Structure 1
């Protein structure tokens, strides 16, 4: 196996996970290479855009109904800014502890493990916390082709 830092592997695996779903749903993905505004990637459909902050975790499989993900205060406040004119989401991709288990490939297909989830940051209020703010990402908000389509339709004003 290669020597790429595990943090970079998790970051780019989570982006690839969302890219696979987005392209299957018919949406373009723009990767933001310099994260000035808390946005790692944008989902696009012509002039319509949704901003996304990507995270990846390999916590042991949890039994709770949500993932509590701690965002630094700056990023949290950028994404939850009530003045935003574009919806913002936190996407968290959960992977197995062992990197060797993240992907399996067979004649039936390429399988990315484990699962991705989303939380609307636009629905939250900015925080005055000094260092970080925890975001509850409900496990019922699974990232799928259908859920990405739903997020984009909602951004368009429909649902």
Structure 2
């Protein structure tokens, strides 16, 4: 059995993988995490946006979220993690995905007749317009504010991969 922190993190990753599969997209991971990318999600083949458009994502989970003025306040990014997402000079667009998960692992998923329920909800944020910190610091934390309208669902994920965030 996984310890609670690893279990929560794995569920967050799997939550995103399920959405990608439901959206008809494919995902992959690098064999080594050297630059903060947890998943690459792409639409294979030719599209009106080019060949195989894709995004790179860093996935975080939160079990006790804080909300302020219509935003999820995520306090858990280190300066290093922030710098791996901030700025406009990435060849492939990068996003932070924050998945609000239950505090108790037994509530992560339920099955009912005809349905699988995954709890609770994912959100996305681009830090493209943010300035990086001058130095990476894995110990210093920064809060980011994610609009509650940035719900990570199948249409949003398809739009992000296609290059047209909502």
Instruction: Select which of 110, 113, 117 maps to 1:104.
Output: 110
CA contact (8 A) 2:67 2:73 kept: no
- Are residue 74 (structure 1) and residue 80 (structure 2) matched? yes
CA contact (8 A) 2:65 2:72 kept: no
Instruction: Indicate the structure with greater helix content.
Output: 1
CA contact (8 A) 1:68 1:134 kept: yes
Q: 1:63 to 1:81 in 2, by over 3 A?
A: closer
Deviation string 1:16-49 (CA, Å, 9 cap, x unpaired) is: 1111111111110112352211110010123322
Cα distance in 2 for partners of 1:24, 1:86 equals: 22
Structure 2: runs of 5 or more not aligned: 45-51
- Are residue 146 (structure 1) and residue 155 (structure 2) matched? yes
- Deviates most, 124-133 or 108-117: 124-133
Equivalent residue for 2:60? 55
The number of aligned residues is 155
- Are residue 93 (structure 1) and residue 99 (structure 2) matched? yes
What does residue range 12-31 of structure 1 map to in structure 2 within 5 Å? 12-31=10-29
Deviation string 1:71-106 (CA, Å, 9 cap, x unpaired) is: 111121121133211111000110122211111111
Q: 1:67 to 1:33 in 2, by over 3 A?
A: farther
Cα distance in 1 for partners of 2:78, 2:66 equals: 23
RMSD of equivalent CA atoms: 2.1
* TM-score normalized by the length of structure 1: 0.87
- Deviates most, 72-81 or 53-62: 53-62
Equivalent residue for 1:32? 30
